[in-house]
């Protein structure tokens, strides 16, 4: 393994990185195009509230969605209200985490949402995180009501 200081090549070859760069650029373009298509979930009109953002450790929790028409979804899979408790009891992810996120449309009847939450708790999931949209107006913009305090 000697190196010569002469003008000729001594057996060391240089790596051609051009094909590697081409492959990396193609992969980058593929990921940029497919990333927006990967978003999952069911579209609901969430209520607004001032709350902290979901922590990264909670982002992988199971999502229970209730749409305006009272249809219920576990992740993206529709489920009937009568089958909800049984489906959650048989869901290994839900039983392991013992927690889920609830996305409920703002126009739903309060009693219906409470009924769904009760069924979730009967399925053995005591912790329910309610997801909201960030409030549009700031807390300082809200003026106190006039009258007695």
> What is the pLDDT tens value at each position of the chain, 149 positions in all?
555 555 555 567 888 888 899 999 999 998 888 877 665 555 666 566 565 555 545 567 788 899 989 999 988 889 999 999 898 898 888 888 888 888 888 888 888 888 998 898 888 888 888 887 765 544 444 445 554 44
By residue range, what is the domain housing residue 115? 48-134
Look at residue 99 in the predicted model and tell me its pLDDT: 87
Look at residue 22 in the predicted model and tell me its pLDDT: 92
Look at residue 137 in the predicted model and tell me its pLDDT: 43
Q: Is residue 5 part of a domain?
A: no
Q: How many domains does the chain have?
A: 1
Sequence-distant (≥ 6) Cβ neighbours of residue 92 within 8 angstroms: none
Q: Is residue 87 part of a domain?
A: yes
Burial class from Cβ neighbours inside 10 Å (0-12, 13-18, 19+) for residue 79 reads: middle
């Amino acid at each position: 393994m000697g190196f010569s200081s002469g003008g000729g090549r001594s057996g060391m070859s240089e790596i051609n990185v051009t094909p590697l760069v081409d492959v990396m650029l193609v992969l980058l373009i593929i990921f940029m195009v497919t990333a927006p298509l990967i978003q999952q979930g069911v579209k609901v009109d969430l209520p607004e509230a001032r709350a902290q953002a979901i922590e990264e450790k909670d982002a992988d929790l199971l999502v229970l969605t209730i749409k305006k028409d009272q249809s219920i979804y576990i992740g993206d899979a529709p489920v009937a209200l009568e089958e909800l408790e049984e489906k959650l009891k048989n869901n290994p992810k839900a039983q392991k985490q013992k927690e889920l996120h609830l996305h409920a449309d703002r126009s739903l009847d309060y009693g219906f949402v409470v009924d769904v939450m009760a069924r979730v708790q009967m399925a053995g999931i005591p912790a329910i995180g309610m997801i909201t949209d960030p409030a549009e107006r700031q807390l300082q913009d809200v003026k106190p009501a006039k009258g007695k305090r």
